Amino acid sequence: MSAPMPDEEAATTRTSAVVTANDAEQRVAAPPRDTMRNRDAEGDGSTSGSIAGAKAAAPTPQREARAGAREASSGGSVAPGRTCRAAAKRLASLAGGMRPPEVWENQRPSLREIWHYAAYGQWTGQGTAGRILGITYAVVIAIPSLTLGYYALWVLERPARLVAALVLATLVALTPPGQFSLGLLLDLVRWLVT
């Protein structure tokens, strides 16, 4: 009788439920024929009915040892995949900080929280140039503009407050100091626009 064909060997291997060995750790269950077809349909490169597909499905101690040796012999260099993942993670965290606030459900931070973030936040070390710039930005730009904005929002929250603020602004504008202040404000707006 002639030597068995590779397909016949694969059929024999698939029909046996377990390949026995002396060591209990080396027992490997042969995958049924249907999973081999499913693996082929998924496009992992294995072919239906091949022994190579059945052997590739189970990790062996030799393969693990070779993989460990390859990693150890790499000389400590960082794989390009790890570098790309780390860069993508940093970009994702930066992009997360650029997302607009959820004003429907969450309240905006108080002025004290803005100051605390600038002075003591973990975004930079204490006494660094970044910390000094952050505190300067908070004192010169963020806190004054947020103060005006928060009061404007407070006025706009209720129609009665808005009417009272408009009446008060009109009465102040009719007085000499109010006219002078309004003239200065209009000059400032013209200077900023032009």
Cα 56 to its chain centre, rounded Å, is 34
Distance CA 177, CA 6 (A): 102
Q: What global pTM score does this model have?
A: 0.46
How far are the Cα atoms of 15, 72, 129, 130 from residue 113, in angstroms, in the given order? 69, 48, 21, 18
pLDDT, tens digit, 9 for 90 and up, residues 131-163? 999 999 999 999 999 999 999 999 999 999 999
Mean pLDDT of the chain: 73
Could you give the dihedral angle defined by the CA atoms of residues 63, 64, 68 and 73, in that order, rounded to the nearest 10 degrees?
A: 0
Could you give the dihedral angle defined by the CA atoms of residues 81, 85, 91 and 97, in that order, rounded to the nearest 10 degrees?
A: 180
Distance CA 167, CA 173 (A): 10
Distance CA 79, CA 86 (A): 11
- Amino acid identity, position 28: V
- Percentage of the chain beyond pLDDT 70 is 58
Confidence of residue 91 (pLDDT cuts 50, 70, 90): confident
